[in-house]
Amino acid sequence: MHSESSDIPRVYRYGPRTFWLMAVLGVLCVGAAVAGAVWTLGQTAWNDILLGVMGTAIGLICGFSSLLSLRSHLDFYADRFEFQDLLRRVVVMKRDIVGARNIQNQYGALHFTVVYNAPKSKTVTISNFGRKDEDFLLWFEDFDNLDAKEEREAADRILANPVYGDTEEARHKAVTTQETWIGRGGMIGLACGLWGMIYPSPYLWALACLAALPALTVGAVVLNRKRWMLHKDEDDNRLSLHDWAAMPAGILGLRAMLDIEMIDWEVPLAIAAGLSLVAYGLMRWVEQRRWQWSIIIYGVVYLGYFWGLLVFGNWYLDRSEAQTFPVTVLEKNAGKHRDGLEVTAWGDRAAGEEVSVDDHFYRSVEPGQQVCVYRYSGAAGWRWIIVGTCPASSSGKQ
């Protein structure tokens, strides 16, 4: 770690080795993003395109953040600090500081967010860039840890909720017991999500777990709305069951995107989006809370859950006979999550368009070999396909 020789101002910035490490990381991330964008341009399956766009965006964010951080530095004076972050330079007077939050160590560097008034409340996240001295912390020793303060206030609000008991001792005992069981429920939700994501076998049981846990959690909240809530609101006086449902709901949507190749995806996606808004609104009404910006985050989870329910319901309840289209494999394209085959024309699809297959089937075929595309009508009329061996008497649903 490097600093200027003068104590006033005291300057913190990356040391030489860290500087070059961040520079190399930034270049690698930008390069990966460019490669991902090139790969995405060659895809035809919408789920591969979506994954490619997400990967490219993450690479660009990582790359440019790493490169821009090379110009960052922190200068301490007796009455203020000046911080150059990725895009701006911020000057904060010591007299204006209210406190700090989000205090954490990341790879040896201390980071936290400073809250200050200038004249209205603002924040800036600063770092010691990994420097090992006490001056950094001593400069802030007179200010509150706002996270710890808010945690104490949140605990006090919950312990003041009369639904947990008539006396402070009874409420404390009830809250402690319920927090323990809520934590165990969160572990079940985590286990269910990992099961569905990593090794969903038996497949239907894994799907049932992913679909049932969020529904059961909502039911528990509705029946105990005065003591539990689904969403996390820091200023509320109820315990949250968020961890029971969030991961299983998201993984259900991910499994639907990876496992079922939908031909007619626009209608179920629109329905899932509408159901997400309705469900979020109903839950906020049940919880007697206003709509918040958290809908952006929770909306993704709701959307994934309803997308998964619709897609898997359309698949599982489908009793239609498959339409069989014999095709020839033109080219194989290995993907990170799903592999693809470019095939000859079938149905209303032109030659060269890609269809998704699982890894086992992908490894069993070669260009020039004949395979069959099985198209099903779907229980709700939303067509979906799978690709398998010919003849058409082969099993369609897998």
Predicted confidence at residue 252, as pLDDT, reads 96
For the whole model, what pTM was predicted?
Answer: 0.67
- Binned at pLDDT 50, 70 and 90, residue 395 comes out as very low
Alpha-carbon span 252 to 244, nearest angstrom: 14
Alpha-carbon span 80 to 72, nearest angstrom: 17
In this predicted structure, the answer to whether residue 175 has a pLDDT above a threshold of 60 is yes
Contact criterion met (CB below 8 Å) for 253 and 268 = no
Predicted confidence at residue 294, as pLDDT, reads 67
Distances in Å between the Cα of 79 and the Cα atoms of 9, 75, 140 are: 10, 11, 12
DSSP label of 350? P
In this predicted structure, the answer to whether residue 113 has a pLDDT above a threshold of 90 is no
In this predicted structure, the answer to whether residue 397 has a pLDDT above a threshold of 50 is no
Q: Average pLDDT, stretch 4-9?
A: 55
Q: Average pLDDT, stretch 22-47?
A: 88
- Binned at pLDDT 50, 70 and 90, residue 2 comes out as very low
Span 234-282, pLDDT tens digits: 778 888 898 899 999 999 999 999 899 999 999 999 999 999 999 988 8
Alpha-carbon span 146 to 152, nearest angstrom: 10
HEC per residue, the chain:
CECCCCCCCEEEECCHHHHHHHHHHHHHHHHHHHHHHHHHHCCCCHHHHHHHHHHHHHHHHHHHHHHHHHHCEEEECCCEEEEECCCCEEEEEHHHEEEEEEEEEECCEEEEEEEEECCCEEEEEEECCCCCCCHHHHCCCCCEEHHHHHHHHHHHHHHCCHHHCCCHHHHHHHHHHHHHHHHHHHHHHHHHHHHHHHCCCCHHHHHHHHHHHHHHHHHHHHHCCCCEECCCCCCCCCEECHHHHHHHHHHHHHHHHHHCEECCCHHHHHHHHHHHHHHHHHHHHHHCCCCCCCHHHHHHHHHHHHHHHHHHHHHHCCCCCCEEEEEEEEEEECCCCCEEEEECCECCECCCCEEEECHHHHHHCCCCCEEEEEEECCCCCCCEEEEECCCCCCCCCC
Alpha-carbon span 35 to 276, nearest angstrom: 34
How many alpha carbons fall within 13 Å on the CB side of residue 390?
13
Alpha-carbon span 301 to 253, nearest angstrom: 8
- Percent of the chain topping pLDDT 70: 94
Predicted confidence at residue 328, as pLDDT, reads 92
Contact criterion met (CB below 8 Å) for 116 and 92 = yes
Span 354-381, pLDDT tens digits: 888 888 888 888 999 999 999 999 999 9
Handedness of CA 382, 388, 392, 393 (dihedral sign): negative
Contact criterion met (CB below 8 Å) for 301 and 251 = no
**Among candidate residues 349, 332, 350, the one with its CA nearest the CA of residue 341:** 332
Least reliable range by pLDDT among 73-82, 130-139, 177-186 = 130-139
Least reliable range by pLDDT among 73-87, 137-151, 175-189 = 137-151
Helix (H) or strand (E) holding 182: helix 168-198
Instruction: For residue 346, give both structure tokens.
Output: 């079938």
Q: Which residue has the higher pLDDT, 247 or 76?
A: 247
Full set of structural domains in the chain with CATH = 10-142 (2.30.29), 160-316 (no CATH), 323-388 (2.40.50.100)
Alpha-carbon span 128 to 13, nearest angstrom: 7
Which residue has 């990170």 as its token pair?
A: 336
Taking the mean position of all CA atoms in its chain, how far away is CA 202? Answer: 25
What is the SS3 assignment for 394?
A: coil
Predicted confidence at residue 289, as pLDDT, reads 79
